[in-house]
Structure 1
């Protein structure tokens, strides 16, 4: 690949991450995305006409406008010629959108691409039961239906079974298992006790709070003023004063009723979150042309699938070593390790497998463990447990934070790993520009 076609991150922006049904309740994924993209372009002083394409990731896609990326282009007032598409890879969606942007630039299809993702759990669609649709559809769609047909329909409908909306359940379609239940199984299987999970969660909060106090996120956060509300300038889920004792008082959320042996709680899990994040990716030639200083580039990518009925959240334990191999690096050689924190149990299980000789032989086809995960290099500025997890935005948030970390410190490389619904996993090796 010619060096002129190397793709680099030159900047980006993200909204503050807030708890669902709070400050951003009136902003859907499109509106949040508009804020993030506008903020990125303003921060870089990049004219709208410089953008070739926009690639967006999301999980909670509006039924009436599922191509969120294109809606962002139109709502923001970017030139109509800016082509855009939306993809979904569950929690790894925006990492995938960035990978697509990089590949577009490497192939010479674009010079400037905005890539990111957003989600608003607050605005998830609440659906009517399928029984209602099946009963009402033939009547509503038939132009010949008259008053008596509608009266007959009402007589066939049950208020409880057919008319009451169903509360959305974040469960696997293939297994019916909620992700937190998978985290409970993971903790039991790999021997991750409650105290270890709570300690990890506290560390995430304390590191995120320290990063905020030190201004580590200032280059990525943009203020957002929701309709009729106050401006939000910072992530609102981070708790600098949390402690292991405080988290120990929280009850398990996903254990079977009456079992009393659960370890996964609201305190050691990521919260339902609203937010958006994006990065601006350019070819090196385009970066020079637009006067932008590159922050970081990419050495490798890896995408994997595992059996969701076995270990739903194990993907990073397979994706990270593959990405490292493709980058020609060992785990000991990377300066930062950034793992998405869906649950403390999941991160600690992945760490344990990366350090396991038996796992390496059984699942990776290698004789020895991938390597030791140094706690001082892991999630140095906290992670999703503290910052929050808007499903479609987390990957972009991780890339943006690590890009600034590599540009502003002596660190030269970072490996990122994300688990995702469906038994998916993704990883990327990012390098200083």
Structure 2
């Protein structure tokens, strides 16, 4: 691995001084992924004077690879299906919901407030306000914490929070020059004005502006950032492929054992009913090793096999104050406790959100890594996950970049994403956060744990973490 890293660091373009410094130190340390569980406190994280916010239930329609069964639909169709699935699962009365908020990233211009359009389509009262939030890959996390805030502050008793992403049909714009001509034509009052504008059109005006998963501030594709991050933290190609294979294998096992109970069937108009995720495909290390680098060519280590894929999907959760939930006869799944958002340099630390957010939220809750029974981290890339593991387990990184005296420690792998993750289940940008939280709640109940840590990175160098506490059974 050392010789492989040395070659990679030399050949990767734009390798930063930060990356080089960390690589030199990282070679002498190995992350302890299997941390022995320590006895944890059984005290609840309830706080005096703060309302308990509970997750009543959460659902999602199957996450599908873009260009498959959802390809002819619109984003609000998927979001509507998730909301209807939640209504069917919970039987929540229409008039009991105070607010609806959904997250999304690439907005369809015809339904810019997709939360409102989906809510109306799902049959909710037109008296229920709804708005849409965007925060890259943590958009539905933001939707959920917006709901938590509305409930904790006493503004609402029940909020539906969710998310949607439709990668099969993203908006593609005309070039800026062409847009100016077209807008001018819409305002032209005479034939002469129209002909004058048309005469200015040049062939290159017709070139479309294609969307890309790239940083506006750095103009760097996220996969390129992931490749540099993996090199900086000495994460080999083999390690990434092994982790990706783990994700697909665990997801397949969870699917076959019926553990993915958050998935609700979706009858696609004109097509069959979709009942399961279609991106779960365990392969072999031999097959994965044959794939070429996807971003930094030819020496990069990030490939299609160890990256999350473009996904269509939607999710929805029902959040309530504990008092409201119990009064309505619900048995909540979990408490939603402390949460934090973080932000750092989008060039060199784009995908390190979990590293910065995890210690902060653990500190707020008065917990340590050893107190956590279930970890659910967003898997953008296998290299991103393993780099965060190494950063969390590095005293040097904690002291030099996080202002901490010592490391917080890496999550125990045997507690980590045990039912698969975004690499295998899929990653509809605006919907993943709700999947993480709902899965954490289900795993706590299934595995008998008390606390879960949910964490995710996002474009712009941002990140999120939340503590989920199992509801007493």
TM-score range, shorter chain: over 0.9
Equivalent residues in 2 for 1:32-43, closer than 5 Å: 32-43=78-89
Give distance in 1, aligned partners of 2:367 and 2:190.
Answer: 67
8 A contact 1:51–1:113 mirrored in 2: yes
1:230 lines up with 2:289 in the alignment: no
Query: What is the SS of the residue equivalent to 1:115?
Result: strand
Q: 1:168 aligns with which of 207, 211, 214?
A: 211
8 A contact 1:15–1:35 mirrored in 2: yes
1:50 lines up with 2:96 in the alignment: yes
Give distance in 1, aligned partners of 2:294 and 2:317.
Answer: 35
Structure 1 stretches lacking a partner, 5+ long? none
Give distance in 2, aligned partners of 1:2 and 1:26.
Answer: 50
Residue of structure 2 equivalent to 1:407 = 445
Deviations 1:159-194 (A, max 9, x none): 3x2123232222111111010010011011111110
Deviations 1:2-42 (A, max 9, x none): 67821100102100000001111122221111111111111
Question: Which has the higher mean CA deviation after the structures are superposed, 192-201 or 21-30?
Answer: 21-30
Residue of structure 2 equivalent to 1:187 = 230
8 A contact 1:9–1:297 mirrored in 2: yes
1:154 lines up with 2:198 in the alignment: yes
Give distance in 2, aligned partners of 1:12 and 1:315.
Answer: 24
1:244 Cα deviation after fit: 1.2
Deviations 1:141-164 (A, max 9, x none): 23x131x433333332123x2123
Deviations 1:251-284 (A, max 9, x none): 111014xxx2111001000000000011100111
Query: What is the SS of the residue equivalent to 1:308?
Result: coil
8 A contact 2:375–2:415 mirrored in 1: yes
Residue of structure 2 equivalent to 1:385 = 423
Q: In the superposition, relative to structure 1, how do residues 3 and 402 fare at CA in structure 2: closer, same or farther (>3 Å)? A: farther
1:112 Cα deviation after fit: 1.0
8 A contact 2:229–2:348 mirrored in 1: no
1:324 lines up with 2:359 in the alignment: no
Deviations 1:367-413 (A, max 9, x none): 22111321101111110000000000000111111111123331111
Residue of structure 2 equivalent to 1:369 = 407
8 A contact 1:305–1:425 mirrored in 2: yes
Q: In the superposition, relative to structure 1, how do residues 362 and 4 fare at CA in structure 2: closer, same or farther (>3 Å)? A: closer
8 A contact 2:375–2:453 mirrored in 1: yes
1:287 lines up with 2:358 in the alignment: no
Equivalent residues in 2 for 1:6-405, closer than 5 Å: 6-142=52-188, 144-146=189-191, 148-159=192-203, 161-218=204-261, 220-240=262-282, 242-256=283-297, 260-405=298-443
8 A contact 2:184–2:197 mirrored in 1: no
Give distance in 1, aligned partners of 2:102 and 2:416.
Answer: 27
Residue of structure 1 equivalent to 2:39 = none
Q: In the superposition, relative to structure 1, how do residues 145 and 308 fare at CA in structure 2: closer, same or farther (>3 Å)? A: farther
8 A contact 2:53–2:337 mirrored in 1: no
8 A contact 2:101–2:143 mirrored in 1: yes
Query: What is the SS of the residue equivalent to 2:267?
Result: coil
Q: 1:421 aligns with which of 446, 459, 462?
A: 459
Query: What is the SS of the residue equivalent to 1:123?
Result: coil
- In the superposition, the TM-score normalised over structure 2's length comes to 0.88
Query: What is the SS of the residue equivalent to 1:173?
Result: coil
1:110 Cα deviation after fit: 0.8
Question: Which has the higher mean CA deviation after the structures are superposed, 351-360 or 23-32?
Answer: 23-32
Pairs aligned (count)? 425
Structure 2 stretches lacking a partner, 5+ long? 1-46
Q: Which runs of 4+ in 1 moved over 6 A?
A: none
1:138 Cα deviation after fit: 2.4
- In the superposition, the TM-score normalised over structure 1's length comes to 0.95
